[in-house]
Structure formats: C-alpha cells, structure tokens
Amino acid sequence: MSETAVVEVKKKNEALFSKKNKRLITDPLNDNNPITIQVLGICSALAITVQVEQAVIMGVSVLAVLILGNLIISLLRNLIPSRIRIIVQLVIIAFLVTLVDLALKAYVPAVSEKLSVFVGLIITNCIIMGRLEAFAMGNKAWPSVLDGFGNGLGYAVVLIIVAVVREFFGSGKLYGFELLGDPTSGAETGLYAMGYMNNNLMILPPMALIVVGVIIWIQRSRNSKLIESH
Amino acid sequence: MAVNKEGSGYTFAFAIVLVVLVGATLAFTSMSLKDKIKKNVNDKKMMNILSSVGFTDKDVTRKNAAEMFEKYVVKRMSINSKGELLVEKSGAVNALDKEDPFNFDLKKQYKSDIAKLVQGLKNNPVELMKKVDALEDAKYPMYVVEKEGEMLYVMPMVGTGLWGPVWGYVSLREDCNTIYGAAFDHKGETPGLGAEIKKESFEKNFIGLKINDDKGGFVSITARKGGKLPGNEHQVDGITGGTITSNGVNEMLYRSMLVYSRYFKSK
C-alpha cells in the first residue's frame, strides 16, 4: 500500500502546482479512493454505516482528524527523529482523536453515545496513519492539508453511500426520516400497510461488506484506469 | 542546525517535549469540558430513570431532563444490603453533594466489588447473595416517582452481559410487587441478538409481572430460554441467540431486586 502511495507522490511533484493540488483532492475521490481502491478503513465502514447520521458524523470526525494530523505532522516533519516517527504520528493521532471525543461528549452527547467505541477506533483507522506516513512526512503544509481533505472526503463519501443503501433498505429511513411509513406492528402506515417489510440483513455487518463490494465493482467497471491487466 | 537529529539525546528530548505538550493540552481541555460532560451524563441518567416509568424520548429530552426529573421524582434514597434506609433526599439534584443517592456510582461499585463475585458464583445464586450481602459498604440507590397520583419505585441495577456491562431500571407499582415498567441498556452486546434487551419489544414484556409469589416470597423475573410458560407471572421470553445476555440480565434482576425487596418488606 505504501509503495504505491510513494510512487504517486513522486509523480505529483513533477506536475504543475495548481493542477497538482487539485488532484490531491480529486484523486482520493475516485482513482485512489481510500476505501474502494486502497481498501483501508474497512472496519469502520462495516461498523457505523447502519444509519446515515452516524456515517456523516464519523466521516466529518475522520476528515477533521486527517486534516489536522496531516498539517501537524507536515509542520513537524523536519523536526521528527526518523527512528520514532511512527510513534510520534500515533501520539498526534491519539491526541486529536481524544480531543474530538471530548468535544463530542460535551457538545453533541447523543451522537457521542451512538458512536461510542468507534470514536476511539479512529486512532486505529489505517487511512490516517497511511496518509501521515506516506504524504505528510514528505510534503509541505498546504498540500498536506489538501491531501487530508481529499482522503477524508473520499472516505466520507463511500461511508455515506453505504449508509444510504443500508438505512433505506434496512429501516426504510433516510437520516432518521421515515420515508416508507411507520413499521410498528399493528399500526403500520404507508408501504408497510401493504405488506412491505424491511430487509433485516441490511442492518447486519456482512451486508456492509457486500455493499462496499458492489460499489467497487461499479467503480471499476466504469473507470478504465482501474481495470487490472491480468 | 547543529543538532544531530538522529542522535539519542535529540530523540529523547523530542519525545519528552511532545508528550508533555500533548498531555498538558489534553488535561486542560478535559478540565474545561468536565462540567459540560458531567451534566450530559447526568441528563442521560435522568432520562433513563424516567423512561422506566413510561416516559418516552418525546416526553423527556436532554433539554428538559433535569426539570422533569425534579417534577416527578419525589424522593431519592439509598439503602444497604439489609434493606435499611441510609439516605433520603428530595428537591433538585445537587451535582456536588456526595451524599445524594443520585450521585452514587452504582456501576463503579459493581465493577470494583461485585463483578468478581458474580463471575465466580454464576450458577450458585444463594452462595453469591451471601457474599454480596457481606459487603458492608455496598449502597443501593432507588427513586420514588409520583406519576398520575401513584407512587412508583425505581430500582437501578447493573450486571454483566456477553461482551460488557448491562444495566437497567425496573419500576414497581405502589404495591411494591407489580412491575410498572423497565428500561435496559448495554455497552456492546451483539446488535440483533443480545442488544435486543434495550428494545421496547423486550422491555414491554416486563409490564404487569410480579416479583413476589402469592405468599409474598421473593421470586424475581427470569427471561426464559424457549419462551415464557403460559400464565407465569415471573417470566418473560428469552432472547433468541442472546442466551448469555439473557442470563446476565436474569442474574442482575435477581441479585438487585432481592436487596430492594428487603426494603419493601421492612417498610
């Protein structure tokens, strides 16, 4: 994984400044998406995509941590002793995640309860470690911020797409709104009154994996660059 | 720069400075947000207590939790394992008052003193209760709610599920025997299996059940694997695929309600 990232960084250094920076944001959205192409951060993609709201918040949290982490590491990159660089990166990530956790607990407690242990899991999200090590350690602050923004966005977009599919088919809702009527047994309304039932399989983690798989399939079949030769 | 960045001295110095800075910032943030976080935790606790006496999320929100709690909860008490009353408070909750039963951390007590006893004597409730009763400092908080002219008794409880702690509040009617409502929660039980304990579909089965038999002897409530027996007033349907969580809930209900029932009998 890191090998391809290093090659990519070298290639970008040769490109024009503005064009290069733009690609830092657009690349992770499609050609080099952290979830569907690099297959990083799958654990959280499975765990918190049952509802769109949680996916949005997880996406925003990772985005914030990734931008700030990239920025801090990039500013410190010439000071960090290379022997302990991974530990320094971990300390910075853990620091930022703890800050996010405290802020969520203090200002949006309902969300904090829903995310519960997954906030802590941002620390182990390999996308963040990957970007800090592969990009921020070797690039200036501004491109690092853009790279963090791009990758965070690429992660959030996939998370939200999976969550939309799972919440709609699993609970008949989108962002908490009941689109198909009230499924309470005995008092069904809307589609439920006509005998429609939610697909409970959608709620379970394996379905997230299948949805991610379908997204990868669609993406690869549409993007000729991603089709492998063998 | 004249400093050798790969030298051990520099590496140590860098690590120390970084850790001190990070530590200081985190400590500062944590201290300045402490009050807000504490208030949120207390609001949630009030919401949970009120939900066991039939208030829904729509009735009690985070915004009006403290207000509703003060309005409906007329007394906050704590008792010891013999069922003797230790403290009784009423009026608004004072977050700084350590005596206040509301501020007592039942989860902490369970974790430090009771959990290991439960672990060892899972299949021997009689022996387990002997050990639990022997804990002289153990406190059991409870709440008296006045709703629609009736006095309801809310019993908080903590236990162990499959993956982590489970907890809940069970409320009794004025007769101190019939269950008025129940609210359970958990930290990380399996969604769709053990996690079902926090669903209304599980909680509503408790309504109307009795914790004592006809002669007044304590029976407790059991979630029975294979479904409740018809006409049984002390059973609910166990959760399919959630046997260990169900067993944890049963253990929690028996151990906690036995202590509270002593208070009700002496009253």
B98 touches chain A (CB under 8 A): no
Residue A190 has pLDDT above 80, yes or no: no
Residues 52-71 of B with CB under 8 A from A: 62
Amino acid present at B43: D
Taking CA–CA distances from B61, the nearest residue in chain A reads A110
ipTM value of the model?
0.73
**What is the per-residue pLDDT for A1?**
42
Closest-CA residue of B relative to A200 is B192
- Say whether residue A82 is in contact with chain B using an 8 A CB cutoff: yes
Smallest Cβ–Cβ distance between B40 and the set A83, A99, A105 belongs to: A105
User: Using the beta-carbon criterion (under 8 Å), do B14 and A204 form an inter-chain contact?
Assistant: no
Three-class DSSP category at B158: strand
Q: In whole angstroms, give the CA distance from residue B15 to residue A88.
A: 8
Q: Where are the beta strands (DSSP E) in B21-137?
A: 73-79, 85-89
Q: What's the pLDDT at A181?
A: 75
Cβ–Cβ of A203/B192 closer than 8 Å?
Answer: yes
The rounded distance, in Å, linking the Cα atoms of A157 and A56 is 9
B91 CB neighbour count, 10 Å cutoff: 10
Domain assignment present for A50:
yes
Rounded CA separation B101/B171 (Å): 17
Residue span of the structural domain in which A46 resides: 37-164
Summarize pLDDT for A131-147 with one digit per residue, the tens: 999 999 999 888 999 99
- For B42, name the nearest residue in chain A, comparing CA atoms only: A109
Question: For residue A84, which residues of chain B lie inside 8 Å, CB to CB?
Answer: 11, 14-15
The percent of residues above 90 in pLDDT, for chain B, comes to: 45
Task: Name the residue in chain B with its Cα closest to that of A109.
Answer: B40
Q: Which is higher by pLDDT, A200 or B48? A: B48
Count of domains in chain A?
Answer: 1
pLDDT in tens, B127-169: 888 888 888 888 999 999 998 889 999 999 999 998 889 999 9
CA gap B188, B165 in Å, rounded: 8
Highest mean pLDDT, choosing among A98-102, B180-184, B240-244: B180-184
Judged against a pLDDT cut of 80, whether residue A93 lies above it is answered with yes
CA–CA gap between residue B142 and residue A11 (Å, rounded): 67
Where are the domains positioned within chain B? 70-266
- All residues of chain B having their beta carbon less than 8 Å from the beta carbon of residue A92 are 22
pLDDT over threshold 70, residue B263 = yes
> What are the tens digits of pLDDT across the range B186-241?
887 776 678 889 888 889 899 999 999 988 889 899 998 888 888 888 999 888 77
Is the pLDDT confidence value at B254 over 50?
Answer: yes
pLDDT tens by residue, B34-76: 999 999 989 999 999 999 998 888 888 888 888 899 999 999 9
